[in-house]
Structure 1
Amino acid sequence: MLFKDRKEAGMLLAEALEKYRGKDIVVFALPRGGVPLGVEIAKKLAAPLDLLITKKIGHPFNPEYAIGAITEDADPIFNPGEHGVLDKNWLEWELKRLRQEIKRRRETYVGAANIQSLEGKTAIIVDDGIATGFTMFASIAALKKRKPKRIIVAIPVTPEDTAKKLDQMVDAVVALERTDDYLGAVGAYYIHFDQLDDAEVVSLLRSMHVKEGKADE
């Protein structure tokens, strides 16, 4: 499956999620790439849009290789095969740096907006794709601490082995394609896959009135 861009992927996911409309849901986008999809889903489902800011922990000698992930409200998660051999001083420094970046993004994107209660609600986590799954796993762990009624993961494409792990972690996985022949990179499933900057994310969030926790209807 090939998508024109993130907006189209979001629109298609919104159609797949239509049955959840009106069921007290909150859409959580993973910045930056998940935000355009989250906007389309929140609009279609008339739901509030919020963020789960998560950062990949890259290997010290190969930053593109994910060895774990960290989010706002939960402990970091790691690939068990990597964690034990990491230099502790480097890891402490790196986690501090990533936490500072997460805080900066939260302040940039939504300012001092209150984090809304999820008790009794359904949380839908949205991203533009999944590779290793670490950022999604960390996001799920953070949301579980807030005790929603249900957690649903919504993604355009996922490797089947990652999807099976997600099946065990959440109440439902809504994916437009689960594939055994993953192409190796999220961008391979998009014709246009430009990197988003902070200004574009802020503009999208303002269009949804995220600070007030209200979606345009």
Structure 2
Amino acid sequence: MNFDQVEVIGFDADDTLWVNETYFREAEEAFATLLSQYETPNKIDQELFKMEMKNLPLYGYGVKGFMLSMVEMALELSNDTVSNETIGAILNIGKEMIEKPVELLEGVEEVLKALSPKYKLIVATKGDLLDQERKLERSGLLQYFHHIEVLSEKKEDNYASLLNHLDIEPSRFLMIGNSLKSDILPLLNIGAKAVHVPFHTTWVHEQVSTNAKQEEKFLTLNSIKELLSHV
């Protein structure tokens, strides 16, 4: 796959630069344990996901919206009888997620250090603005990036608007990310290039199927370190 025209490389943040989804899975397990008197863990997990999807247009992505969905789900499952102590414990689950240390994925800083002298690097990620800014600050990676963009969604229009704002031709842009739905397919649809670096766990909302014709258009790597062999 030819990346000779690429001048700007974009990186997703969560589960591309650092660990994120693992903490959500741990939080879901803790939430199910808290509410085990009302339902089975599997049912709680299913209902929480439905609540998140219902609330997504209101709260957007990120830990804070997840916290509110957990509280609402607790009230619903308990028929509004859940204790103040349990609500407090749910809020603490969310606060602990926000306060987690930023754990960089293997090879990330090595790759950014190697690429930053040759390309403009940007971050294009979803999530809560304050939380993502906090994680970027804690990561120690800010020095490598020309621009940081926290998007409310990652669809074709969002990317096209971002590239237009930064005066980047789509054909000269390469996106690196772990989500086919958010980081790969929208970029291909606007004429940019993309590299998929899967994370070991993917949120159900981000899971999508691809066909052979689509898969011919992007590169899949086992590790972000392999990127240095291609650009």
Q: Same fold (TM over 0.5)?
A: no
Bigger share in helix: 2
- Could you say which TM-score interval applies, normalised by the shorter chain? 0.3 to 0.5
Which structure is larger by alpha-carbon Rg, 1 or 2? 2
TM-score (norm 2): 0.34
TM-score, normalised to structure 1's length? Answer: 0.35
